[in-house]
Structure formats: C-alpha cells, structure tokens
Amino acid sequence: MPTKNSGLTQNNFDSLLEWLDSNRAKAGEKYENIRNGLIQVFNYKGCVSSEELADETIDRVARKANELRLSYVGNPARYFYGVGKKVYLEYAKKKPTLELPTVLRADDQWENVEREYDCLDRCLQKLNDRNRVLLLRYYAESKQAKIDSRRALLQAFNLKPSALRVRVFRLKATLERCVRKCLETDNNSVTE
C-alpha cells in the first residue's frame, strides 16, 4: 500500500495490483512477496536502507504500471528485480555498502537470490549468539557511525583493534565456507 513518504499514488498502486493479478487478494500477496524479496536482496547486498530501496523500486515500477499492463510479457517479479538492480547500482554509487562477504554471485543471478539469502541466514544462525552479534554489529553502520560502533564492540567484547579484525576475518571465512557448502548441497538436491 502507498505510504505517506512514498511517491506512490493510489491510482498507480491500483494499476500495479491490476497488472500483478486480476484477483485483488492474489495481487496483494504477489505484491508482498515481491516487496519482501526485494528487501531480502537489498539486505543481502549490505544495504542499510533495504526497505526504502524496495519502496523506491516499487514506486518506479508503479509509475509505469499502466504501460506495463499493456506491453510487458512475462513474470512481473522479474521486471521488479531488474528495476531493483538499477536502484541498487544508483545506491552503491552514492553510498558505500556494508562489507559483508560477497561469496555469492547475486549480481548476475538475481533469480537465485532467495536461495542464497536463505543459505546466508542459515549459516548466520549456526554461529553462536556472541559471534553472530559481533559479526552483524561490525558491519551494521557506515562512516562515523561505523567507527563509533566498532569502538563500542571493542569495549563490549574487551578486545584490541587487531584482535577484533582477526576475529571478524575468521568469522567471515567460516561463514563463507558454510554458505558455499549450503549452496552446493542445495544445487545437488535440485539436480538429483
């Protein structure tokens, strides 16, 4: 649904839903699935403002909804992800992304992002609470907020800067191995 801060008008939103499905309830479900998928993609890419980027993507698509209803052939979700990729590239030029490990090739395989995100999430859950919090907080901010956050981590975990960097490096390596193994397992189960 359009929000106060969004550039989405009720008219554009209605056209968007009609494009997604003639049944209003099904269209609403598809809209929510697409929005959640976009948020997951932006989260995976390390964006701090994933929900805003998803809303910007939806706004852009909605402004063209009348035209798309008449001319676009194919799964609407793919169109959203294509626009989302452009929104992300604009965001990346303006703002540095978080330094989460890019062990996956999400840029050229947006169709598989949900599976990749699920693997990343599962692997994060395998870390103990202390290590998971450390890793997520280490990458949670940018610019001055990042510096302040890392100082707080040094105090909270009673570490020296070099020890913090080594611990994060090791956690990233563990996470990367886990994600790769998860994706290989998923790929093997799909091909069997």
- Reported as a single tens digit per residue, the pLDDT across 69-113 is 888 888 898 999 999 999 988 887 775 433 444 444 444 445 567
Secondary structure percentages of the chain, helix, strand, coil, to 5 = 75, 0, 25
pLDDT value at residue 187: 66
- Is residue 110 within 8 A of residue 64, CB to CB? The reply is no
The pair of three-digit structure tokens given for residue 71, joined into one six-digit string: 């001319």
> Domain limits of the chain?
1-97, 98-192
- Reported as a single tens digit per residue, the pLDDT across 21-53 is 999 999 999 999 999 899 888 877 777 678 889
DSSP conformational letter for 119? H
pLDDT value at residue 153: 85
Residues 61-93 as b/e (b if ≥16 CB within 10 A, e otherwise) read bbbbbeebeeeeeeebbebbbebbbebbeebee
Degrees (nearest 5) of the Cα angle 71, 76, 82? 95
What is the spatial distance between Cα 141 and Cα 143, in angstroms, rounded to a whole number?
Answer: 7
pLDDT value at residue 5: 45
What is the spatial distance between Cα 39 and Cα 27, in angstroms, rounded to a whole number?
Answer: 18
Evaluate if pTM is beyond 0.75. no
What is the spatial distance between Cα 137 and Cα 55, in angstroms, rounded to a whole number?
Answer: 25
Side-chain half-sphere CA neighbours of 136 within 13 A: 14
Name the more confident of 6 and 134. 134
Give the percent of the chain with pLDDT over 90: 23
